[in-house]
């Protein structure tokens, strides 16, 4: 009785059972169904589906554009987080709220808005078109959409670390002869690096599976601007469920690897932050 009354979580057994059942129904069973459906293909058939030229081209676009978008967001997300934490300016709260807009905005609405903006007759597209810069219906349009949906992950991951970082360390470095760049490089950046890497991984993972905001601006030109989620949808529309799940398995395995990476980076971030304190 004494041990039962001292438990932090009352009814732990029931809570754990409910959690496992709920997790199984919502996550584990659907994911297992993907692998089971894909297993209906022979190894040769599976390999033929996931290595088809159009599918490989979609891998290159999805993963390549996602990697580049996450890298760009890491740079400009850090700059935006720095401005929001370190400076006061008119409209700061509005800018801070707008950072979360990609979270709240339906992805289809974002895709339509970006397409209308960057189309050849759009507000920005009509100025870029004469310069030979085509955004909508090209891989560049895919990159723009992925940057849009990935930016909040970097900003919101780096921002709390910056808020907790005492400026006295930078001031001490400057007083010892370091310039502002040296103080940032040797004092601030090492502290921000774990959070920045976590934000990069999260933005990358989000971009890899993005569909709604990309499908409109991509143009879906075969071998040029087709993303991997579109290939899955196309096979589902053709009632090729085994082929769709085969491609989904490749994406799923890659997502699992990213999830492990993100968890490792988050643990590293917590460890580094604890040591700093």
pLDDT digits (tens, 9 = 90+) for 93-145: 999 999 998 888 888 898 899 999 998 888 888 898 888 889 988 999 999 99
Instruction: Judge if pTM exceeds 0.85.
Output: no
- Indicate the SS3 state at residue 221: coil
pLDDT by residue (tens digit) across 46-64? 999 999 999 999 999 998 9
- In the chain, how long is the greatest CA-to-CA distance? 79
Q: Which residues contact 248 (CB under 8 A, 6 or more apart)?
A: 34, 38, 232
What are the residue boundaries of the structural domains of the chain, listed by start?
A: 1-38, 42-276
Integer distance in angstroms from the first to the last C-alpha of the chain? Answer: 39
Between CA 127 and CA 130, with CA 128 as vertex, the angle to 5 degrees is 80
Separation CA 142–CA 144 (nearest Å): 5
Half-sphere exposure of 116 (CA within 13 A, CB side): 6
Q: What is the mean pLDDT of residues 18-23?
A: 85
pLDDT by residue (tens digit) across 176-214? 777 778 777 777 888 888 888 888 888 988 898 888 889
254-268: string of b/e by CB count within 10 Å (b at 16+)?
beeebeebbeebbee
User: CATH number of the domain at 42-276, out of 1.10.8.100, 3.20.20.140, 1.10.3720.10, 3.40.50.620?
Assistant: 1.10.3720.10
- Contact at 8 Å (CB) between 253 and 199? no
């Amino acid at each position: 009785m004494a041990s039962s009354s001292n438990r932090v979580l009352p009814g732990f057994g029931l809570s754990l059972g409910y959690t496992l059942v709920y997790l199984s129904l919502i996550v584990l069973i659907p994911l297992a169904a993907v692998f089971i459906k894909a297993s209906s293909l022979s190894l040769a058939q599976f390999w033929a589906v996931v290595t088809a030229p159009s599918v490989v081209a979609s891998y290159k676009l999805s993963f390549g554009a996602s990697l580049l978008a996450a890298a760009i967001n890491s740079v400009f997300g850090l700059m935006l987080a720095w401005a929001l934490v370190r400076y006061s300016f008119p409209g700061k709260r509005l800018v801070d709220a707008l950072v979360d807009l990609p979270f709240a905005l339906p992805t289809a609405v974002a895709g339509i808005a970006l397409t209308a903006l960057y189309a050849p007759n759009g507000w920005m597209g009509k100025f870029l078109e004469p310069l030979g810069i085509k955004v909508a219906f090209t891989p560049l349009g895919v990159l723009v959409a992925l940057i849009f949906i990935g930016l909040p992950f970097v900003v919101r991951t780096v921002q709390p670390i910056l808020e907790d970082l005492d400026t006295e360390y930078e001031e001490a470095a400057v007083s010892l002869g370091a310039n502002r760049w040296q103080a940032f490089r040797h004092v601030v950046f090492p502290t921000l690096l774990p959070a920045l890497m976590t934000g990069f991984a999260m933005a990358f993972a989000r971009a890899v599976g993005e569909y709604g905001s990309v499908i409109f601006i991509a143009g879906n030109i075969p071998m040029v601007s087709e993303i991997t989620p579109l290939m899955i949808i196309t096979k589902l529309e053709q009632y090729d469920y085994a082929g769709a799940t085969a491609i989904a398995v490749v994406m799923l395995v890659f997502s699992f690897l990213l999830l492990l990476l993100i968890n490792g980076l988050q643990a590293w971030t917590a460890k580094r932050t604890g040591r700093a304190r």
